[in-house]
Amino acid sequence: MTDAAPECTTRQGAVRGSTEHGVAAFLGVPYAAAPFGPRRFAAPAPAEPWTGVRDATGYGPTAPKAPYAPPFDALIPDTSMPGEECLNLNIWTPEPGPGAGLPVMVWLHGGAFSNGSANSSGYRGHTFARDGVVFVGVNYRLGTDGFLHLPGAPDNRGLLDQIAALTWVRDNIEAFGGDPDRVTVFGESAGGVAIGQLLAEPGARGLFRRAVLQSGACHHFVRPDTARRIGERFARQLGVAHTAEAFAAVPLPELIEGQAQLRADFARRPDPAEWGEAALNGMVFEPVAEELRLPGPELGVDLLAGSNQEENRLYMVPAGRFDTISERRLQRGAEAFGADLDGYRAARPGASPGELLDALVTDWFWRIPAVRLAESVPGTYLYEFAWRSPQFDGGLGACHALELGFVFDLLDDPDYVPMAGERAPRDLARTVHAAWVAFAETGDPGWPAYDPAGDRTTMVFDADACRPEPDPRATERKLWEGVR
């Protein structure tokens, strides 16, 4: 690559990027029109073409959102940039220009469908481009604009944005050195849940060849009646009619403030009678679906899925709840999730109520959905991230989102230090990152696929040893048979 500013030509017009870490970066490239004005709460429309060469050296706007509440605001940095052209993406490539035919990885960030952005420094894609991959990070609508049910507007607007971004990638990524027939979509938490929905979405069919679902799969959604009730509740809170037109008339700062209040109300032990399945899922804003849609053997997409060993500690330890979990709270949680608490006690003798609650919630919310996806689609590769963070005197453990710095091989980035510490194992990061790259290149991350009729091989990532194991924690897995 020369020192000259790299340029590529999309179907909307030419873009000029910059060179960083020895690769080309094109930032803030619109893949759809700004979703405001007459396009507010509508399905995404194609991006407007431009003349001349568009500057793509700085990040574009992010979707409107309220910040994370403490203590998560310090653990999970969240970048916000104002502006209406928030349906944009960021590209890093080692070989800008057509003809290279490189594998492509499209990143869908997490954030409970309410937070996050592709502009966070921890999601810079130069480490993937360094290893021969064209990386694309996608900004999509969140919260009210992306996922609130509104009469007169299509549901799942955030998912429609993701489909629009994948369509843009199919139509334009060759100009950036990518192969449109070798696209891997990958995401974490809400990003993984979104991919679980995209696997069953006809509009996404054929837009990606492979998928990686990190700590999120197909199981978390709200049914239409629940989505309607949440929308009506929010409308009453704001004092407006439950329609797209009425919500569009609410000033954006007021809407964001109201959204934060809605989430705060929800966080106070939500009653399933009021919040439906959202109360168990732990998210106010989620994709809307009629029923669980697990893909089958005919999917035609290579899958890599998994979770972290102690996911729920992120929501217990920093808030000081882990050591204060009472036996009553544990029993109430087990009943809500349909968990066999006696079975967990037998599998984990001497475990405290906090340890047991973390184990069963981690399984219900993250691990078992990944297992069931692997059981549904033959040839799926399964992993478990087991390295334990030293933060919070070691209590944070192998918590939710901890694997991100390892997947991106960016442990030195300030986004990851609060959760992983300053001495996280670099060798483990290189190993995990290489597995993701290998999967994008070949469909094989480097260990045997999960076989429900065989030994259920799962790759366990830890600092001491990364090893394929047969059916880790099989005892707990069997306790969930027959449970959603």
* Angle between helix 252-267 and 224-238 (nearest 10): 120
List of residues 6+ apart from 88 with CB closer than 8 A: 28, 29, 30, 31, 60, 61, 139
CA distances (Å), origin 167, targets 156, 207, 357: 17, 7, 41
Long-range contacts of 163-166, Cβ-Cβ distance < 8 Å, separation of 24 or more: 163/198, 163/201, 163/203, 163/204, 163/207, 164/31, 164/32, 164/44, 164/87, 165/31, 165/32, 165/87, 165/89, 165/106, 165/136, 165/138, 165/140, 166/106, 166/204, 166/207, 166/208
Assess contact for 105 and 133: CB atoms under 8 A.
yes
Residue 6 per-residue DSSP state: P
E strand intervals along 50-155:
53-55, 88-93, 102-108, 134-138
C-alpha 19, offset from chain centre: 27
Query: Which pLDDT belongs to residue 328?
Result: 96
Start-to-end C-alpha separation, the chain: 51
Assess contact for 57 and 27: CB atoms under 8 A.
yes
Residue 448 per-residue DSSP state: P
User: Using CA atoms in the order 110, 112, 117, 120, what is the torsion angle rounded to 10 degrees?
Assistant: -60
Instruction: Give the helix ranges, DSSP H, for 96-222.
Output: 126-130, 143-147, 157-172, 190-198
Nearest to 472 by CA among 378, 376, 368, 393: 368
Kindly tell me the burial class for residue 91, based on how many C-beta atoms sit within 10 Å of its own C-beta (0-12, 13-18, 19 or more): buried
Question: How far is 125 from 32, CA to CA, in rounded Å?
Answer: 21
Query: Which pLDDT belongs to residue 449?
Result: 98
- What's the CA angle centered on 165, arms 163 and 166, to 5 degrees? 65
Convert 171-182 to b/e letters by CB count within 10 Å (16 or more is b).
ebbbbbbbebeb
The continuous run of DSSP H or E covering 308 comes out as strand 302-308
Query: Which pLDDT belongs to residue 3?
Result: 60
- What's the CA angle centered on 46, arms 228 and 257, to 5 degrees? 40
User: Which stretches in the chain have pLDDT values below 70?
Assistant: 1-3, 484
Residues annotated as catalytic are 189, 311, 400
Greatest Cα-to-Cα distance within the chain, rounded to the nearest angstrom: 68
φ, ψ of residue 117 in degrees (nearest 5): -165, 160
pTM of structure: 0.97
